[in-house]
Structure 1
Amino acid sequence: MENHGHRNHSRPISSEAASQYFHHSSAKRTNTDAILARALKKQYPALHLSIVLARTVNIFAYASSGLATFTEIEDDTGEGGVPASLRQKSFMPPAKRDGGSTGAVLRTPTFSKFLYMYKEDEFIVYLVKAQDGMYDVEETYYILSPDEAKTDALIQAAGLWGSVLHDEIWVFDGGYWRKDAGLYASVMKASWEAVILDQDMKNAIIDDHLSFFRSRSTYQDLKVPWKRGIIYYGPPGNGKTISIKAMMHTLYKLTPEVPTLYVRSLTSFLGPEDSIKKIFFRARQFAPCYLVFEDLDSLVSDSVRSYFLNEVDGLQSNDGIFMIGSTNHLDRLDPGIANRPSRFDRKYLFPDPNLKERIAYCHFWQAKLADNKSIEFPDKLCEAIAEITYDFSFAYMQEAFVAALLAIARDERAKDGDESSSDDEYGVATVDLADEWVGVVDQHPASRDDVDLEHLKLWVEIKKQIEILREGLKEQPENKS
């Protein structure tokens, strides 16, 4: 590309594109593509121009993966006083107020020129953000090269790379799909071994999923659509969320892996109907896949129910799509969703834990506090706490433990006159309250059971907290099992 005047970047180039962009942006806007295409053709008459929407092919994200490189360069804009590039600065506050960070100043290009290298080929790339009329701001690449076929090869490679997941999960929120690496990392920590659930029910759920994805030929032989849907229902805090995450993890470990598409909301500028259309279009594109609708009763309102059902069992094929919906209120679901096979074929109740499961949950806290010398927690205490937490969900039991430990920590600090110690000493700060569950370990240390429970400060305090929580349950009878 030496003959096209861009390899020697030490020699200034008068930027017609920059001049036209700023002139255009200072007047009534018509069509940015048309304006810049004419300017770039004048500036680079021997190069071929390709215009690419960044939301369809992100060549910079592709380069950031190590498969290409790019370097920002600037033209000489002459004596017109027009800058060669334009960037917006913004402040990004720290993710956590007490994390020690002071935040960062971000520089976002609005009009910039880059030298882009893919394989052995060079490209000139202009990154431009512009708004035409009433539409949203669009980010566009203007790619210049002497060989259109090489540009197409770059677009093909970057587009293919961007269409697949890289330790990410597709999440639908705000009217569009995005890749979420954080959710993927959370899912990879979930496992069935950490789910406190009746073993027969756990086995049935796992088999229900795995047999579906392994039975494509069976469905075809029977000439029935290869699709399935199930609903998890029951009081909040009893393992629906972690069971979904554990199954997501299981499906990602299959060969070939089964991706998850997670629906967070249907709210969008174009309305929930457009969101439902986009959701099922992507699910069909990625099938076989796992399509997750958490809080199904809140997502599918009466106003969009018919549109949702049309996508579920309408004319278009949903082969390979396994839908999972969860709800705390099965009675709020329309009967056409909750009670109609071929839409959601089976329902699994996640009830409040029984005595055995409550004891197992107490053993988790026993193991968590094993290194805490100030808290005595014998096996006998696990059974005692489980006995008085009937009608409690795992979430309620978690709250009882957290509240009791916080109260003990406050009392200890007040007694010692030390307000600087951390709640983490009592095993509270490390609890993940974002999920509806906490896992349980299989092994717990042996402990003496000859102790009088009334001499144990954890037992004394947790009884108080359980009584407070039980008063709340009396005010919310629908939460009882």
Structure 2
Amino acid sequence: MTAGSLANRPAPSHNETARQYYEHSAAPRVNTDAVIVEALRAEYPNLHLTVVPRQTCNLFAYTGAGHASMASIDKEKDRLSWRVFMPPASRLGGQRGALGDNIKFGKYLLDWQGKEYVMCYAEGRDGMSSFPQVANQYVLSASVEATNKLLFEAGAWTSELHNEIWVFDGGFWQKDAALYASVQKSHWEDVILDEDMKKGIIADVETFFSSQDTYEKLRVPWKRGVIYYGPPGNGKTISIKAMMNQLYKRDPVVPTLYVKSLSSFGGPEYSINQIFSLARRTAPCYLIFEDLDSMITDAVRSYFLNAVDGIAKNDGILMVGSTNHLDRLDPGIAKRPSRFDRKYLFPNPNTDERAAYMKYWQGKLSDNEDLEFPDKLCPAVAKITPGFSFAYLQEAMVASLLAIARERDGFAERLCLNCLESHGQPDDGARCAKDSKRPCKGLYDWVWTVKQADEEDPDLDNYVLWREIKKQVRLLKEELGEEKGER
């Protein structure tokens, strides 16, 4: 069937706006917005019409939050929506999800502060591309002033965060409530760092957001940049999240803008413009670039530097860029003080910091009466884990706890500490015949380190947690050794 025959077929008994929408959808189109406006003006000649993009003023979300009420006023045959299944965020607790409507075209009566408005919503095309672009709300009322008041309040609400964090990914900003909830669980007490360094990071950020007057008196721009660098798994991300949590408790709140990537249909230059436009509107704010070295490539470097240090003002913006590879950053970013003024190294933890991390785990497991975790286990584990990052220490602990849980459930395999394979021989300390076949035998003199720790305190082997940690540490040592060999 041709487009022309579709357009000339008898129209169903819809209202005029619905008839125009369906007729328009079944024929070559130019601009959906113009068609809807013309139809609504014909259907409601005595009401004032305002076209409102949903992106900047979301009336559905505004009414859904309880600030107004909304009810459908069109017939089911005049409405277009998708019935979609929304899976649960988690299946725990027996949740199975829910059904919802994805509205494409519909008409509603909106009640706000005692005044009524007709609101039509339609998705369509803008005439310039082959896929839907327009998602507009068409508000009709008897008073221009009443409409403007509604749109101002709804627009202001839409632009604000409500227990959310701005996240830039895929070329646009979106509000992320899940990240906000995660940040609320991040505290500086959970961050194991050199105490002087931790205090310095906190003071650096807090002082900046409290010193606007000082910057103005000194006639210097009120902006700052910080780089967190070092091998992965040593606290860069948790430090950022702990700082985000602290800033959300300030009065007034300092919001966070979190950049995951610069990829977008408009290119990285478009993304950088979008990022700094919102940051300038939101300032004072905390602007995070995760894995900065992977974002700022040669192709986009000059555009980024101009956004950071160009003509436009960045007052009130504190940027933090994290990287595992400082050497990959352009010197214009890493070494230019007016862009990133301070750099903090997050190295692999020393012996005392590893012991402190185990002490942290001891506190987390303090209410577990089935697991013995004596104080002397903390320095013992620290002693046998030189070169471990906090992430590797965590992996050793989690793997050990899971192994203990499996053993108590009757699903454990007998693992030989010498060859790291499962077999029937009891692990009684005797050498294993398969040990000589191991490709990474004797890494870091690990066996002797463990032996020395055991000799210093022969009672250590009485603790199941110590026995499991020894196995997991040796497995991770093999992994570390293979990585170093590849490099």
- Deviating more after overlay: 364-373 vs 269-278: 364-373
Q: Residue in 2 aligned with 1:140?
A: 136
2:256–2:286 contact (8 Å) kept in structure 1: yes
Aligned equivalents of 1:62, 1:317: Cα separation in 2: 32
Coordinate RMSD, CA, aligned = 2.2
Aligned equivalents of 2:125, 2:82: Cα separation in 1: 15
2:376 is aligned with 1:380: yes
Displacement, 1:357?
1.6
Q: Which SS does the other structure have where 1:156 is aligned?
A: helix
2:335 is aligned with 1:322: no
Counterpart residue type for residue 469 of structure 1: L
CA shift in 2, pair 1:316/1:473, >3 Å: same
Q: Residue in 1 aligned with 2:359?
A: 363
2:403–2:412 contact (8 Å) kept in structure 1: no
**Matched pairs, number:** 431
Displacement, 1:98?
5.7
Q: Residue in 1 aligned with 2:99?
A: 105
Counterpart residue type for residue 462 of structure 2: H
Aligned equivalents of 2:412, 2:293: Cα separation in 1: 50
Q: Residue in 1 aligned with 2:463?
A: 456
Aligned equivalents of 1:57, 1:461: Cα separation in 2: 56
Q: TM-score, structure 2 length as denominator?
A: 0.84
CA shift in 2, pair 1:137/1:478, >3 Å: farther
| Structure-to-structure mapping, 1:462-481, within 5 angstroms | 462-477=469-484
Q: Residue in 2 aligned with 1:348?
A: 344
Q: Which SS does the other structure have where 1:106 is aligned?
A: strand
2:94 is aligned with 1:121: no
Counterpart residue type for residue 473 of structure 2: I
Give per-residue Cα distances to partners, 1:86-105, cap 9 Å, x unaligned: 11122223334565222322
| Unaligned segments of structure 2, at least 5 residues | 1-12, 414-455
- Deviating more after overlay: 386-395 vs 13-22: 13-22
Displacement, 1:14?
6.3
Q: Which SS does the other structure have where 1:377 is aligned?
A: coil
Find the partner of 2:410 among 414, 419, 425.
414
CA shift in 2, pair 1:188/1:383, >3 Å: same
Counterpart residue type for residue 394 of structure 2: Q
Aligned equivalents of 2:258, 2:373: Cα separation in 1: 40
2:40 is aligned with 1:33: no
Identical positions, percent: 57
2:56–2:159 contact (8 Å) kept in structure 1: no
- Deviating more after overlay: 331-340 vs 392-401: 331-340
CA shift in 2, pair 1:218/1:372, >3 Å: closer
Q: TM-score, structure 1 length as denominator?
A: 0.85
2:49–2:139 contact (8 Å) kept in structure 1: yes
2:30–2:125 contact (8 Å) kept in structure 1: no
Q: Residue in 1 aligned with 2:416?
A: none
Aligned equivalents of 1:293, 1:122: Cα separation in 2: 45
| Structure-to-structure mapping, 1:49-448, within 5 angstroms | 49-75=49-75, 83-96=77-90, 100-133=94-127, 134=129, 136-414=132-410
Displacement, 1:147?
1.1
Aligned equivalents of 1:107, 1:225: Cα separation in 2: 49
Aligned equivalents of 2:232, 2:485: Cα separation in 1: 11
Aligned equivalents of 1:88, 1:415: Cα separation in 2: 47
CA shift in 2, pair 1:400/1:75, >3 Å: closer
Aligned equivalents of 2:134, 2:360: Cα separation in 1: 51
Aligned equivalents of 1:65, 1:55: Cα separation in 2: 16
Q: Which SS does the other structure have where 2:81 is aligned?
A: strand
CA shift in 2, pair 1:250/1:102, >3 Å: closer
Q: Which SS does the other structure have where 2:66 is aligned?
A: helix
Aligned equivalents of 2:14, 2:410: Cα separation in 1: 73
Aligned equivalents of 1:360, 1:320: Cα separation in 2: 36
Displacement, 1:148?
1.5
CA shift in 2, pair 1:198/1:460, >3 Å: same
1:230–1:323 contact (8 Å) kept in structure 2: yes
Give per-residue Cα distances to partners, 1:337-379, cap 9 Å, x unaligned: 1111111011001111122221121122223333434432111
1:389–1:466 contact (8 Å) kept in structure 2: yes
Q: Which SS does the other structure have where 2:175 is aligned?
A: strand
Aligned equivalents of 1:305, 1:269: Cα separation in 2: 18
Give per-residue Cα distances to partners, 1:449-469, cap 9 Å, x unaligned: 987111222211211111111
Aligned equivalents of 1:97, 1:22: Cα separation in 2: 40
Displacement, 1:476?
2.6
2:288–2:319 contact (8 Å) kept in structure 1: yes
